[in-house]
Amino acid sequence: MSDRKLLVTDPASDQTLELPVVAGSEGDPTIDIAKLYPSLGYFTFDPGYGSTASCQSDITFIDGQQGILRYRGYPIEQLAENASFLEVAYLLLYGELPTSTQYAEFERDITYHTMVHEKINNFINGFHYDAHPMAILSGVVGSMAAFYHDKLDVKDPEQRELAAKRLIAKMPTIAAAAYRHHMGWPVAYPRNSLDYSERFLDMMFSVPAEQYTVNPVAAKALNLLFILHADHEQNASTSTVRLVGSTGANPYACVSAGLAALWGPAHGGANEAVLNMLNEIGDISKAGEFMARAKDKNDPFRLMGFGHRVYKNFDPRATIIRQACYEVLEELGQSDPLLDLAMELEKIALEDEYFVERKLYPNVDFYSGIIYKALGIPTSMFTAMFAIGRTVGWVSHWLEQSASAHRIGRPRQVYTGATAREYTSIDDRKPSA
């Protein structure tokens, strides 16, 4: 709490209220409005939460005007350049980078928990072969509540930590199993000798008929993408996890809800939508035509992978991924006309009044799909890839909230429906106009 206060006067009653200003360690000042309703009888109205801070958090800092993203104080650029994904996971969960002993112990714990109960594989087999991987992921992760619920006391910090580790460890196993189910391939069990990203690639692409060797370029690229997706403060899916968690629900149910929120095309589903869009545009010569459609309010077409609620200058993750696109394609000896098309769309947008005025820039999802495609990951799996990285953020926020005093999340509304009226019997009712 800072010394600053905001004075609110209600002209109707002539009452004045002092609202305290909450100051974080950095970032914009925030008014604490908790006393507004009890004192003056007013709620606040902020659909989409564009001006609302829902909690205090120590985990991730974003400055949308300056394009800054930091996990626990460390700039995303430094983590992307130097860290392994599990190092970042440890940082997000515990607040500090691990020492080598702590890292070895954490990696061993995660590796130890990567296998799923065999009955979960039966569960996956129950899905139709063409079920969307996000539907499978959300359903199967939710079902883990049934596998572990009896033993889970969410008030016990050790049990919470174990659930968090299980979720980080098992998410890639389930995601890969969803893909294999679609392909009609047998289950690939996690190999403990591999690291987190290598193990995922092995579970995705190895087949019993021949030896599979993980390409280190692919593993390095995945490590980077998982880091960039790991957390992003109170985005829609993380807020969902926190809201569900605020009721004391089982963590697997909370993360299942987070997966459902992530799937939407306005959020994590955008990476799949971007690639579909690039394929639909097809050729650089059509870029101008589609940009015109994106600006036309009568056309539902939007430039997917563009725009962000918080970033109004540039998304630092997009800058890193754009560069990585070139490097990965070059190292894999591939070229992709979709990258040229994406660059052309970005170029047009950066000079176009519509996009400049609205501060619309490429977001994390604009370029990520081009890398996933180069690694052989099918478009329908893109959001599941995002989910693997973001699981760390979800469980870090769930742990943070669970360990601190919190109330159930319960917003109010501005009611716009019918006012009080009398019940009429069915014979007396007339059809409404």
Which amino acids are annotated catalytic?
A: 267, 308, 365
CB 133 within 8 A of CB 179: yes
Cβ nearer to ligand ACO, comparing 107 with 365: 365
Q: Which residue is nearest to ligand ACO (CB)?
A: 307
Q: Which two three-digit tokens encode residue 400?
A: 């943070």
Cβ nearer to ligand ACO, comparing 92 with 270: 270
Q: Which stretch binds ligand ACO (CB under 6 A): 11-19, 240-248, 358-366, 393-401?
A: 358-366
Q: With binding defined as CB under 6 A, does residue 168 bind ligand ACO?
A: no
The residues facing 85 across adjacent strands are: none
CB 139 within 8 A of CB 82: no
Cβ nearer to ligand ACO, comparing 104 with 356: 356
CA dihedral 284, 312, 327, 78 (to 10 degrees): 180
Q: With binding defined as CB under 6 A, does residue 365 bind ligand ACO?
A: yes
Per-residue string for binding with ligand ACO, 174-193, x by CB under 6 A?
--------------------
Q: With binding defined as CB under 6 A, does residue 134 bind ligand ACO?
A: no
Type of residue at 185: W
Q: With binding defined as CB under 6 A, does residue 360 bind ligand ACO?
A: yes
Q: With binding defined as CB under 6 A, does residue 260 bind ligand ACO?
A: no
Please list the helix, strand and coil fractions of the chain in percent, rounded to the nearest 5, in that order. 55, 5, 40
Q: Which two three-digit tokens encode residue 323?
A: 């560069």
- Rg of the chain (C-alpha set): 24
Q: With binding defined as CB under 6 A, does residue 307 bind ligand ACO?
A: yes
- Helices 157-183 and 118-125 sit at what angle, rounded to 10 degrees? 40
Q: With binding defined as CB under 6 A, does residue 304 bind ligand ACO?
A: yes
Q: Which of 91, 144, 364, 399 binds ligand ACO (CB under 6 A)?
A: 364
Q: With binding defined as CB under 6 A, does residue 349 bind ligand ACO?
A: no
Cβ nearer to ligand ACO, comparing 199 with 390: 390
- Ramachandran quadrant class, 333 (left: phi over 0; alpha: psi -120 to 50; beta: rest): left
Nearest to 174 by CA among 135, 148, 214, 146: 135
Q: With binding defined as CB under 6 A, does residue 350 bind ligand ACO?
A: no
Reading across the β-sheet that carries 74-75, which strands appear in turn? 60-63, 68-71, 74-75
Q: Which stretch binds ligand ACO (CB under 6 A): 95-103, 122-130, 253-261, 304-312?
A: 304-312
Residues near ligand ACO, by CB under 6 A: 48, 266-268, 270, 294, 302-309, 358, 360, 363-365
